[in-house]
Structure formats: C-alpha cells, structure tokens
Amino acid sequence: MSLMSMSNIWEDTTTLNRLQELRDDKRNGSGRLSFDCFNLKCKEDRAYCSEGRRLGTARDGSLALIAVLCGVTSSICKDCEDYNSEEE
C-alpha cells in the first residue's frame, strides 16, 4: 500500500518503521532533515516552520506532513541559521 494513500499511519507499525527507514536513508545522504528541526510545527496534515520560513511552494509556505515523515527536506532548512536539532 502506498504511504500517500494511508488513512491512518499511526496504527500501522510496518508503515511507521518504513518511514523511519526512509528518513534514515535521507539523513545519511543529505545530513539535515526538516523532520529533525525543533522549529518544525505541524497542523493537521501540513508542516510549518515556527521561524516563519517558507518550507514549500504551497500558498502558506508549508510542506505536506507525509513528505516530511518520508524524509523530504525543504531546501531552506539545509542552510538555515536557525536550524535547531539535537545533533547540531
């Protein structure tokens, strides 16, 4: 089943484990993930930067939460001076 079509991923441990694997792969490749930044906030199915940076091309500057959970990283996060994670 496609991750994008899941109606409730929070109860599916197989899907949650797969999302973790996808994030780990991306983290190993590019380093910073939007997922890891403490400035990332979520509302419903969208992710936002609490510092006001535009993460995506949506009108409100948000990214789809499922994309963030899969390890998609906004290009703004890669060079952000306010990026805040446990590892930084």
Residue 63, number of CB atoms within 10 A of its CB:
23
Burial of 57 (0-12, 13-18, 19+ CB in 10 A): exposed
Report the domain count for the chain: 1
- Whether residue 2 lies inside any domain: the answer is no
**Mean pLDDT calculated for residue range 15-37:** 91
Residues in the chain: 88
Among residues of the chain, what percentage have pLDDT more than 90? 64
Q: What is the mean pLDDT of residues 19-33?
A: 90
For residue 13, is it within any domain?
Answer: yes
Task: For residue 47, give its domain range.
Answer: 9-78
Question: Does 53 fall in a domain?
Answer: yes
**Averaged pLDDT for residues 33-50:** 94
In a domain, 21, yes or no: yes
- Total-model pTM: 0.79
What's residue 88's pLDDT? Answer: 53
